[in-house]
Structure 1
Amino acid sequence: MFVTLLKFAQNRAAAPAFMAAHNDWIAQGFADAAFLCVGALAPNAGGAILAAGESRAAHDARIAADPFVAEGIVTAETYEIDPKRTVPALDFLKLPA
């Protein structure tokens, strides 16, 4: 499982020009069953993605393809998590022992 923080960067002012493409990219992540949750970092600091089901290399490639990342609107920082305890609804995130 991955948590990726997308923090606004130097080219933040260009965000409106790439918002439609960024939203299409997010929609594709959900369509591919790679994204579990996407949301804003408060207050107005960027975004966060909870993802699972891909290798680290595939996840990193997906993040690099985000128009916001490619255009320097955000910087991406990814953390890999090996879930040990979850509520029952999230048991699917646990890796086999």
Structure 2
Amino acid sequence: MFVLELSHTAPREAVDAVLEEHVAWLDGLYEQGVFLASGPKEPRDGGVVLAVAEDRARIEEIIAGDPFVGAGVCAYRVTEFVATKTAPALERYRETLAR
């Protein structure tokens, strides 16, 4: 599982100019089952996405397709973690640690 942290690298007006495209991109990844939750940070200087994918390379490929990245208005920080505990609704995403 991955936590994707977006940080805006441009003024809010530039971010808002591509927000509609970014939201459409998010919607497509929700439909594919890749994104589980997302939203803006407070204060609104970026956002956070909880994602699932087979590996980090796939996540990097997905990030490259974000209209925010294409417009140069945000940067991503990716954190991979093993979800050994989840809420019941996310049970299918639980993982075990490799020993």
Fold match (TM-score > 0.5): yes
| Code of the aligned partner of 1:34 | V
Q: Deviations over 1:14-46 (max 9, x none)?
A: 112211211110011101110000111011121
Matched with 1:30 is 30
Matched with 1:83 is 83
State which drifts further: 23-32 or 87-96.
87-96
Matched with 1:60 is 60
| Code of the aligned partner of 1:33 | G
Matched with 2:6 is 6
CA distance in 1, matches of 2:31, 2:21: 15
| Distance change (3 Å), C-alpha of 1:51 and 1:39 | same
CA distance in 1, matches of 2:55, 2:24: 22
TM-score for both structures, normalised by structure 2: 0.86
Contact 2:8–2:15 (Cα < 8 Å) also in 1: no
| Code of the aligned partner of 1:26 | L
Unaligned runs of 5+ in 2: none
Runs of 4+ in 1 over 4 A off after TM superposition: none
| Code of the aligned partner of 1:63 | I
State which drifts further: 49-58 or 8-17.
8-17
CA distance in 2, matches of 1:17, 1:86: 36
| Code of the aligned partner of 2:32 | D
Identity %: 34
Matches within 5 A, 1:15-26: 15-26=15-26
Aligned length: 97
Unaligned runs of 5+ in 1: none
